C-alpha cells in the first residue's frame, strides 16, 4: 500500500509526458487532478488499515537494493508520518485544482505529481539513505516550478532555494554516513542505514552531539529557522500561488519531520544536552519571524515570515520532548500546513483580481458589492486560526505545545507565547489596511509614494474589481472548513498521533 502512494503519482507524471503531444493542453489538469484524487483516496484507505494504538511502524515493506552500500527499499508508516502523508496528498489536489490555465501544462502538472510522489517517499522511508534520495530528488521539480512559472525574479529565487537546500542535503548526508559508520562498526552485517538498526545502537554523547549538530544545521535550513531562513521569503514571493501553497504547507515539514524522526530518534542523549539551546533558538525564530512580518508591505512576504515564526513553535515542542509537547509539535505541522495554504490561496486571489499585493496600494477589499467579500472573510478566518483563536486548529496545536513545554522551559515558552500576540498584530495590520475602508486599488503604486487613503482618488485606481469565480473560492473554502472542523474536533488528528509521539518522548524521558 505504501509503494502505491509513491509510484502512483510518479507513474501518472510519466504517462502524461509520454502522451504529451497526443492530449489537448486543457486535459493535463484534469488527468493530474484524477491522479491526485486517486492518491488521496488511497491515502485515506490507510486509515482503515492503520492501528492507532500501535506506536511502531506498520504496513512495512522491504526490498533488497544495493546492500553493498547499505541502501534498501524500506518503507513504513506510524502516527508521526501518517498525518503528513495525508496532508501532502490533500494539498497536492488543492494545488492542482488552483492552478487553472498555465503555460506548458504538459510539463507543469507532471512536475506537481512527481513532487507529490517523492515527498510521500521521504515521509515513508525507513532507510536513511533512501530518505536522502527522496529528499534530494524533491529539489528538482520544485526548482523548476519556481524557475519557470514564478515571478520576475524567479531565476534568483529558484537558484537561492537550490543552493540552500543542496547545502542542507550535504550536511544530512554527512550526519547519516557518520551515524551509520560509527553505529555499525562492530556489526557483522556490515554498513547499514536501517533506521531501526541505528536506533538500537548507542553512541557516546560527544559523538551524538556532533552528528546532531549536523542534522540541526541541515534540517534548520529546510524548516527554515533563523538565520537560515532568507531563501524562504524570496521563494514564496516569486513562486506562483499553488507552489507557495505546497512549499509552506508540505515541503517545510520535511525539515521538522526529519529533525523529530532522525535527530531526536537517533541521538536522544545529545538532544537532552542541547535541548535548552534549541528552546532558545525557537524563541529567536518565533520573535524574529513575527517582528519582521509586522514590517512587511507585501502580503505574500508577510505570510512567508509568519511561517518562520510558526516553525519556531514546532522546535520549542521538540526541544521539550514531553509526550504532550511532541503531540503538539506534530499537530502544529498539520495545522500550519492547512492555515498557510489558506493564507496563500487568499493572497493569490487578491493578487489575481486587484493586480497588486502591496498593502499601501489596497483598501476596502471587503466591500460586499464591488470588492472581494468572500476572500476578505476567508482572510479574517485564516488570520484568526494563525493567531491561535479558540475554535480553530491553530489554537489546539499551540496550546498543546505551550502546555507540554512550560514545565520544562517556562521562560522560553512564555517568550514564544508573545509570538501569538504579535501574529494577531501583523494580521490585523494586513486586514485593516487591505480589506476595510472605502474600496480603492492602485496597480501602479510604487514604493515610496504616498499610500492610498480611504476615499482618495489616485492614478491607476480601480473601483470595480472583477468577481471571483467559484473555482477561485472552492479550494480556500474547503481549507477553511477543515481548519474549523479540526479545531472543534482535534481528536480526529491527535487520535492517530499520540501513541507514536509518546513513544518517542519515552526515549528521552
**Quick check: is 101 in a domain?**
no
Q: Is 462 strand, coil or helix?
A: strand
Note whether residue 365 is domain-resident.
yes
Structural domains in the chain (count): 1
Q: Is residue 477 part of a domain?
A: yes
Residue-wise burial string across 207-216, b where 16 or more C-beta atoms lie within 10 A, e elsewhere: bbbebbbbbb
- 469 Cβ partners below 8 Å, 6+ apart? none
Q: Domain range for residue 456?
A: 276-509
Short-list 418, 431, 419, CA closest to 343: 431
For the beta sheet containing 440-442, the strands, ordered from the edge strand earlier in sequence to the opposite edge, are: 362-363, 440-442, 461-462
pLDDT truncated to tens, each residue of the chain (509 aa)?
A: 899 999 999 999 999 988 877 778 788 899 999 999 999 999 999 989 999 989 889 999 999 888 888 889 999 999 999 999 999 999 999 999 998 788 888 899 999 999 999 999 999 999 999 999 999 999 999 999 999 998 888 899 999 999 999 999 999 999 999 988 887 765 656 678 889 888 888 888 999 999 999 999 999 999 999 999 999 999 988 999 999 999 999 999 999 999 999 999 899 999 999 999 999 999 999 999 999 999 998 899 999 999 999 999 999 999 999 999 999 999 999 999 999 999 999 999 888 888 888 888 888 888 777 778 888 899 999 999 999 999 999 999 999 999 999 999 999 999 999 999 999 999 999 998 888 877 777 666 565 555 555 444 444 455 566 666 777 788 999 999 999 999 999 999 999 999 999 988 865 54
Strand (E) or helix (H) holding 116 = helix 105-124
Per-residue cell: 80? 508521526
Cell triple for residue 506?
519515552
d(CA 364, CA 376): 9
215 contacts 171 by C-beta, under 8 angstroms: yes
Residue length, the chain? 509
Integer angstrom CA distances of residue 239 from 22, 95, 343, 351: 29, 12, 14, 13
**Separation between Cα atoms, residue 456 and residue 108, nearest integer Å:** 42
Q: How far apart are the first and last CA of the chain?
A: 34
In a domain, 164, yes or no: no
Task: Establish if 440 belongs to a structural domain.
Answer: yes
Q: Does 95 reside within a domain? A: no
Report the candidate in 398, 405, 275, 383 with the shortest Cα–Cα distance to residue 331.
398
Tell me the β-bridge partners of 362. Answer: 441
Q: Closest Cα to residue 96, out of 146, 144, 141, 35? A: 35
User: Has residue 169 been placed in a domain?
Assistant: no
Q: Is residue 441 part of a domain?
A: yes
Classify strands 440-442 and 362-363 as parallel, antiparallel or unpaired.
antiparallel
140: exposed, middle or buried (Cβ count in 10 Å: 0-12, 13-18, 19+) = middle
Amino acid at each position: 500500500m505504501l509503494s502505491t502512494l509513491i509510484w502512483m503519482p510518479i507513474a501518472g507524471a510519466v504517462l502524461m509526458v509520454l502522451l504529451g503531444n497526443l492530449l489537448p493542453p486543457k486535459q493535463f489538469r484534469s488527468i493530474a487532478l484524477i491522479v491526485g484524487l486517486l492518491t488521496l483516496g488511497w491515502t485515506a484507505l490507510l486509515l482503515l488499515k492503520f492501528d492507532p494504538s500501535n506506536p511502531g511502524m506498520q504496513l512495512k515493506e522491504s526490498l533488497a537494493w544495493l546492500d553493498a552500500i547499505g541502501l534498501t527499499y524500506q518503507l513504513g508508516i506510524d502516527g508521526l508520518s501518517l498525518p503528513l502523508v495525508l496532508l501532502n496528498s490533500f494539498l497536492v489536489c488543492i494545488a492542482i485544482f488552483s492552478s487553472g490555465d498555465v503555460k506548458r501544462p504538459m510539463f507543469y502538472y507532471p512536475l506537481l505529481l512527481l513532487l507529490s510522489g517523492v515527498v510521500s517517499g521521504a515521509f515513508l522511508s525507513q532507510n536513511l539513505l533512501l530518505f536522502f534520495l527522496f529528499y534530494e530528488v524533491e529539489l528538482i521539480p520544485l526548482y523548476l516550478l519556481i524557475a519557470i512559472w514564478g515571478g520576475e525574479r524567479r531565476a534568483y529565487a529558484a537558484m537561492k532555494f537550490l543552493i540552500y537546500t543542496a547545502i542542507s542535503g550535504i550536511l544530512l548526508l554527512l550526519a547519516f554516513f557518520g551515524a551509520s559508520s560509527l553505529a555499525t562498526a562492530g556489526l557483522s552485517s556490515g554498513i547499514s542505514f536501517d533506521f531501526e538498526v541505528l536506533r538500537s545502537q548507542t553512541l557516546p554523547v560527544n559523538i551524538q552531539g556532533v552528528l546532531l549538530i549536523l542534522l540541526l544545521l541541515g534540517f534548520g535550513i529546510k524548516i527554515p529557522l533563523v538565520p537560515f531562513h532568507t531563501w524562504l521569503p524570496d521563494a514564496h514571493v516569486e513562486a506562483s500561488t499553488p507552489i507557495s501553497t505546497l512549499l509552506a504547507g508540505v515541503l517545510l515539514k520535511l525539515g521538522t519531520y526529519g529533525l523529530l524522526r532522525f535527530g531526536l530518534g537517533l541521538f536522544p542523549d545529545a538532544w537532552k544536552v542541547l535541548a535548552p539551546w534549541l528552546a532558545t533558538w525557537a524563541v529567536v525564530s518565533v520573535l524574529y519571524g513575527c517582528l519582521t512580518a509586522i514590517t512587511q508591505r507585501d502580503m505574500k512576504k508577510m505570510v512567508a515570515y509568519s511561517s518562520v515564526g510558526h516553525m519556531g513553535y514546532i522546535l520549542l515542542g521538540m526541544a521539550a520532548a514531553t509526550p504532550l509537547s511532541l503531540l503538539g509539535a506534530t499537530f502544529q505541522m498539520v495545522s500550519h500546513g492547512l492555515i498557510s495554504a489558506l493564507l496563500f490561496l487568499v493572497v493569490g486571489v487578491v493578487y489575481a483580481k486587484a493586480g497588486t499585493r502591496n498593502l499601501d496600494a489596497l483598501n476596502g477589499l471587503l466591500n460586499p458589492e464591488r470588492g472581494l467579500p468572500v476572500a476578505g472573510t476567508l482572510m479574517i478566518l485564516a488570520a484568526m486560526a494563525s493567531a491561535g483563536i479558540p475554535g480553530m486548529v491553530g489554537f489546539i496545536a499551540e496550546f498543546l505545545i505551550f502546555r507540554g513545554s512550560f514545565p520544562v522551559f517556562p521562560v522560553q515558552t512564555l517568550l514564544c507565547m508573545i509570538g501569538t500576540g504579535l501574529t494577531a498584530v501583523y494580521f490585523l495590520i494586513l486586514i485593516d489596511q487591505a480589506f476595510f475602508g472605502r474600496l480603492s486599488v492602485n496597480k501602479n503604486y510604487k514604493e515610496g509614494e504616498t499610500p492610498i487613503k480611504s476615499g482618495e482618488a489616485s492614478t491607476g485606481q480601480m473601483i470595480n474589481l472583477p468577481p471571483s469565480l467559484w473555482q477561485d473560492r472552492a479550494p480556500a473554502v474547503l481549507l477553511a472548513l477543515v481548519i474549523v472542523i479540526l479545531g472543534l474536533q482535534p481528536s480526529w488528528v491527535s487520535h492517530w498521533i499520540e501513541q507514536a509521539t509518546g513513544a518517542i518522548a519515552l526515549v528521552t524521558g
